[in-house]
Structure 1
């Protein structure tokens, strides 16, 4: 429920941010005006989505790639594990990373970034390797992979928190980083149980 509320809040902020400067005042033409007095349709003509720096674009692509991989591996956890706690971890990865990826897709559309449609080849290879395992063998390999992946994700997002300047992307980082930290703590707890 908290994650849904956070996503809805984020979408509302993005929507309000994208409408910045537009008011409902009439200029006598029957059209809403922006704060400069130009009708909204005129103000929107020729408008292009804002773009991110090369570094910010790379962050968004890397974040989407990692998120898609976590979803794919979460699906494997649901089918290949026998342990309820590992299946639950897989479910959590699917749910949380799907929400994050949907929020990132909204930002990417606004910022004119083409996110990958599927996880990278190296991430696909990890999924292939894990798919050949079942039961406790799968659980050990999956938990080890989750630790590795979340170490990488935390490094990506913590660096992004320091280097990303775009306010919308920065808000995405600030909202996602606590979830990634929660995942890491949960995975470490499971690692102690194996």
Structure 2
């Protein structure tokens, strides 16, 4: 997951809705987490599709497929958890996330594999940290539970990416 600070460029109407609805409330932090988690998952889906198309190693292509499958399901779950709380979700990754995808789009083969997997390792470390914080300090019990429930899969993604990263270094 590409976890970047601001979601404002991802979906201004959703961001504006959430700011108006939750500004200075207990749910503000949770709504911000939901926005970031959603854009990060959408970016993972985009990058996973690129990995299936541009990757050289079958394992990188399979990792990309896993990202598409798992993050599509996670976004559906997140949408179901956010809707009753009136948290608006973005419709696309952030501009910064799309820029990362565009940089990778021009690469193929071993160059793509290395850069994609390096990005996956870095981003999964960032995402795990954010999900741990939400699971511990979030205000909404449903979102806290959801974040905690996603941690094993995220840690598994990181482990898979680190193993691929080591293989690519050889």
Q: TM-score range by the shorter chain?
A: 0.7 to 0.9
Name which of 127, 152, 156 aligns with 2:101: 127
Residue in 2 that maps onto 1:95: 69
Q: Who is 1:66 aligned against? A: 40
**1:174 Cα deviation from its structure 2 partner:** 1.6
**SS of the residue 1:117 aligns to:** coil
For 1:161 and 1:172, how far apart are their aligned partners in 2? 8
Alignment deviations for residues 92-137 of structure 1 (CA, whole Å, 9 cap, x no partner): 0001111110000011111101111000000000000000000000
More helix by share: 2
Aligned match for 2:139, one of 145, 154, 165:
165
Residue 144 of structure 1 pairs with residue 122 of structure 2: no
Q: Deviations over 1:150-192 (max 9, x none)?
A: 0111111011111112121112112111100000001000011
Q: How many residue pairs align between the two structures? A: 144
Tell me how far apart the structure 2 counterparts of residues 92 and 137 of structure 1 sit (CA, whole Å).
20
TM-score by length of 1: 0.72
Which aligned pairs between 1:1-194 and structure 2 lie closer than 5 A? Answer: 53-194=27-168
Structure 1: segments with no counterpart, 5+ residues: 1-50
Deviation >6 Å, runs of 4+? none
More strand by share: 1
Give 1:52 deviation, angstroms.
Answer: 6.3
- When Rg is computed on C-alpha atoms for both structures, the one with the higher figure is 1
Structure with the larger RCO, 1 or 2 (CA within 8 Å, 6+ apart): 2
Kept in 1: contact 2:43–2:97 (CA 8 A) = yes
Contact 1:154 1:177 in 2 (8 A): yes
Q: Is the 8 A contact 1:157 1:177 kept in 2?
A: yes
